[in-house]
Amino acid sequence: MIRLRMKLALFNLLSKLVFTILFLMFLPYLIERISLLQVDNELIQKREQVITLISKVGIEPFITSDSGNVFGSYNILKEEFISLERIDLKEDANYIEVSQRLIEGENITYRVLNYSFKVDGNTYLLAVGKSLNSILHTQKNIKIVMLLFLVFIILITFLTDLQYTRLLLRPLDIITNKLKGISNPSIFDKTPVRTTTSDFHHLDDALTELMRHIDQLFQNEKEITVNISHELLTPISVLRSKLENLLIRRDIGSDISTKIEESLKTLHRLQSLVNSLLLIARIESRQYLREESFSVTEVLHEIITEIIPIAEDAGIIIKEEVEKDFLITRANRSLIFSMFYNIVNNAVKNTPSHGEVLVKTTLHENNYIVTVTDTGKGMTEAQMSNLFSRFKTKVGNNIDSIGIGLAIAKSIADFHGIEILVNSVIMKSTSFSFRFPENS
Amino acid sequence: MNVLIVEDEKSLANEIASFLKAEGFLCELAFTGFEASEKIAVNLYDFVLLDLGLPDYNGLDLIVEARNHGNDTAFIIITARGAVEDKVRGLNLGADDYLAKPFALMELFSRIQAVARRKFNILNNNLTVGDFIIELQSRKITCKGNEVIITKKEYDLLQYLIINRNKVLTRNQLYEHIWGNILDDQYDSNFIDVHIKNVRKKLNGHAPTPWLETVRGIGYRVSLG
């Protein structure tokens, strides 16, 4: 990808080059035309002078019968010449041509004006010539100077264009930077960009307004979730206390106790649901702090230690492989704990007896990766595609699972910038990989 | 011990009161912050159970008021607004514990016991169950002078059951006590059964445990005469 200002500068450069090349192609022709026109004018002037002179003094000073009817004169450097000749011409001559003349053994290219006139019944041909050698030489010099000048100009304008467009597009750069890596509208920098370009001003205004709007919507949504959750928790709390007080009474039979316990269980499910939604809303609205530093390996070890009794009971082995211990900074330990706890716990649940769960920590290209692999039933593509959506997941056949655990794990991962990759081979294994960001 | 329950949800306040009365507490109720403020100014309570979501009062101010009166009442905050800042601020202001709604009454009771032990220096820090002695201070279990080796979670489970002795505790209540209610998606696991099985195995190696009962279809109970 090329930056806009570079594109503009390159386009300018290219268009200048095209024009320059065209100009250079026509330049020799132009210079020739101009210089020949100049020479022709001079020749005509000279002719007029000669004619005026002849009409004053007559033809005799130039041509006598002794001189063989021919008069010729040239200056020392043979740049110009004049010749006068008595000839017989059927038609009048008045034209300009380029011709080679041999003067004193030197072949020189001249621009020659031929003009015929009559004096005393005789026809004379006047030829006024001017050497083109010097003109050709000048032309060459002009071309070189022109070329150098143009190259210089192109270079200078390219650099100034680049600089100017950079200056001109700086507001756009600022706006682009504001949008770069933005994960949440609330962190969008809402200070207006200083610019005199109305387009950028409008763009910035529109974006800021949009971000403010989205932010507000997000905020509202989260507030609604949080408020509804709070409102729900109070009645749950009341019901729960009432049922608990009933359950500890000694004057109730076991059939009633069982029913109360079932009600408590259902209520607990509702409570879990509300708490989970609240948790996700809180994580997403960044109500949790990220200011702890701790060893992820230690957290994993703690989780495994807690789950081992259950795994052993189910005849499952949990293996722990640590390539390298690593410390995570700016994180929330209890959230990270919950995330891995949920994943490891899930893995154990989905593994049949005599199976194995492997928790592995590796370092791959500066990223720490934690992989949890089970030897369970695996998942189909369809199951994997909405694995992290709320309520859509029923991992394994645990009908009591409310299917929100993975959604929570995902939001915790997102909160910490951790990438989750899932791999599954049906009837064989499933693995969850957590790739930690480089600087963590 | 006397307790002031500050809670605007009347039926919840009444349930808490009826539970605590059965445990031998003297309970008073305040349904508004204003009412609570007056009561705190006049009476001396061992415990105040404080709901932060009062309509007329910032609950945290009550802690400040009590401290200004120079009394050392123990505050346990109970709130549905389990936001992290609330918790941190409450504990910074001198609250002794924090419980998020909904909580189990048994959990509340066990927290009150823990705060009481800590705050009022109750010296009898041991509970005797059958042939076993639970040393609450050092979190150890001994049987006829021998220490029973038990994991941290198993100890927590056992202590919770013993503190709430003679009451049946459901698996959910036990699970919640040990793992809290963060991420309890898989709450219907057999976690508790496995742990109880292990506790029994370990204790039975020292002495029989007929007092640790399984209540069919409900959960577990420690029955002491």
Single pTM value for the model: 0.68
- Classify residue A149: in a domain, yes or no: no
Residues in A closer than 8 angstroms to B195, CB to CB, are 309
Average pLDDT, chain A: 85
Across the interface, whether the CB atoms of A257 and B168 are under 8 A apart is answered yes
CB proximity under 8 Å: A 276-315 to B:
276, 278-279, 282, 287-289, 306, 309-310, 313
Q: pLDDT digit string (tens) for A50-88?
A: 889 888 888 877 877 666 778 888 887 788 888 888 888
Tens-place pLDDT, residues B163-183: 999 999 998 889 888 887 655
A chain contacts of residue B189, beta-carbon cutoff 8 Å: 310, 345, 349
Average pLDDT over residues A338-345: 89
pLDDT at A157: 87
- Domain span including residue A79: 4-138
Domain boundary among B119, B149, B169: B119
In a domain, A96, yes or no: yes
Domain assignment present for A187: no
Q: Are residues B96 and B133 in the same domain?
A: no
- Tell me the pairing of strands A327-331 and B47-51: unpaired
Q: Give CA–CA dist A342/A287, Å, rounded.
A: 21
Shared-domain flag, residues B49 and B133: no
- CATH label of the domain that carries residue A431: 3.30.565.10
**For residue A394, pLDDT beyond 60:** no
**With an 8 Å Cβ cutoff, are B186 and A345 in contact?**
yes
The model's confidence at residue A392, banded by pLDDT at 50, 70 and 90, is low
Res. A104: pLDDT tops 80 = no
- My answer on whether B179 and B72 are in the same domain is no
Across the interface, which of B80, B85, B190 has its CB nearest the CB of A230? B80
Task: Say whether pLDDT at B186 is over 60.
Answer: no
Q: Are residues A299 and A274 in the same domain?
A: no
- Shortest Cα distance, chain B CAs vs residue A230, angstroms: 6
User: A298 and A271, same structural domain?
Assistant: no
- H or E element: which one contains B173? helix B171-179
Nearest by CB to A400, which of B15, B22, B188? B188
Three-state DSSP state, A12: helix
Give mean pLDDT, residues A35-52: 89
Q: Are residues B16 and B112 in the same domain?
A: yes
Whether residue A72 is contained in a domain is answered as yes
Confidence of residue B187 (pLDDT cuts 50, 70, 90): low
Is A380 within 8 Å of chain B by CB?
Answer: no
Answer yes or no: do A279 and A392 share one domain.
no
Average pLDDT over residues A365-371: 88
CA distance A324 to A309: 26
Residue A319: the pLDDT is 92
Nearest CA distance, A188 vs chain B (angstrom): 24
CA distance B76 to B73: 10
Nearest to residue B73, comparing CAs of B115, B16, B33?
A: B115
To the nearest whole Å, the CA of A7 is away from the closest chain B CA by 50
**C-alpha span between A244 and B108 (Å, rounded):** 12
Looking at the structure, do residues A95 and A218 belong to the same domain, yes or no? no
Is a pLDDT exceeding 50 seen at residue A396? Answer: no
* B217·A261 Cβ contact <8 A: yes
Both A309 and A369 in one domain: the answer is yes
Q: Do A408 and B187 touch (CB under 8 A)?
A: no
Q: Is A258 on the interface with B (CB under 8 A)?
A: yes
Residues in chain A, overall count: 440
**Range of B215's domain?**
126-222
Q: List beta partners, residue A295.
A: A327
Q: Are residues A323 and A423 in the same domain?
A: yes
Q: How far apart are CA A434 and CA A415, in angstroms?
A: 13
Find the closest chain A residue to B199 by CA distance. A309
CATH number of B24's domain: 3.40.50.2300
How confident is the model at residue A397, as a pLDDT? 45
DSSP A115: E
- Examine the fold and report which residue of B119, B152, B167 is the final residue of a domain before the chain moves on: B119
**B109 and B161 assigned to the same domain:** no
- State which amino acid sits at residue A45: Q
How many domains, in total, are found in chain B? 2
- B131 and B114, same structural domain? no
Query: How many independent structural domains does chain A possess?
Result: 3
Q: Which of A284, A306, A324 is the last residue of a domain?
A: A284
pLDDT reported for residue B87: 74
Residue A399 confidence (pLDDT): 42
pLDDT at B29: 96
Write down the pLDDT at residue B108: 95
pLDDT at A75: 81
Residue of A nearest to B105 (CA): A241
Mean of pLDDT values over B82-101: 79
- Is the pLDDT assigned to residue B125 strictly greater than 60? yes
Confidence of residue A370 (pLDDT cuts 50, 70, 90): very high
Mean pLDDT to the nearest integer, B87-116: 88
Q: Which of A104, A120, A138 is the last residue of a domain?
A: A138
Of B84, B119, B154, the one marking the end of a domain is: B119
Torsion of CA A211, A213, A217, A222, to 10 degrees: 50
Residue B4 has a pLDDT of 96
Same domain flag for A262 and A320: no
A339 and A424, same domain (yes or no): yes
* Pairing mode of beta strands B132-135, B140-143: antiparallel
DSSP string, A197-226: -HHHHHHHHHHHHHHHHHHHHHHHHHHHHH
CATH (domain of B172) = 1.10.10.10
Whether the pLDDT of residue B123 is over 90: the answer is: no
**B180 and B202, same domain (yes or no):** yes
Q: Are residues A268 and A312 in the same domain?
A: no
- Cβ B80–A233 below 8 Å, yes or no? yes
Please indicate whether, in this complex, the C-beta atoms of A265 and B172 are within 8 angstroms of each other. yes
- Residues in chain A with CB shorter than 8 Å from the CB of B197 are 313
* Contact indicator for B169, B161 with CB cutoff of 8 Å: yes
Q: Is residue A440 part of a domain?
A: no
Residues in contact with A206: Cβ distance below 8 Å, sequence separation at least 6, in sequence order:
none
- Quick one: pLDDT at residue B92? 82
Verify that A231 and A251 share a domain, yes or no.
Answer: yes
Closest CA in chain A for residue B181: A272
Between A183 and B120, whose confidence is greater? B120
Residues A90-103: tens digit of each pLDDT: 778 888 888 888 77
Angle between helices B171-179 and B105-119 (to 10 degrees): 40
Residues B96 and B179 in one domain: no
Whether residues B201 and B151 fall in one domain:
yes
B6 and B44 co-located in one domain: yes
Q: What mean pLDDT comes out for the span B221-225?
A: 88
Residue A100: inside a domain, yes or no? Answer: yes
B111 and B8, same domain (yes or no):
yes
List of chain B residues whose C-beta atoms are within 8 Å of the C-beta of residue A278: 82
Which residues are CB-neighbours of B150 under 8 A, at least 6 positions away?
B141, B158, B199, B202
Domain assignment of residue A339, yes or no? yes
The last residue of a domain, from among A232, A251, A284: A284
| pLDDT in the model for residue B162 | 93
Q: What is the ipTM of this complex?
A: 0.90
Q: What is the pLDDT of residue A434?
A: 94
Residue B46 CB: number of other CB atoms within 10 A? 18
Residue A357's pLDDT band (cuts 50, 70, 90): very high
The answer to whether residues A259 and A306 belong to one domain is: no
Residues A287, B84: C-beta atoms closer than 8 Å: yes
Nearest to A338 among B19, B172, B183 (CB): B183
For residue A254, the chain B residues in CB contact (below 8 A) are: 216-217
Q: Edge-to-edge strand order for the sheet containing B146-147?
A: B126-129, B132-135, B140-143, B146-147
- Find chain B residues with C-beta within 8 A of A269's C-beta: 187
Say whether both A319 and A270 belong to one domain.
Answer: no
A237: domain CATH number? Answer: 1.10.287.130
With respect to residue A207, please indicate whether it lies within any of the assigned structural domains: yes
The mean of the pLDDT values for chain B is 87
Q: Does A405 touch chain B (CB under 8 A)?
A: yes
Does residue A58 sit in helix, strand or coil? Answer: coil
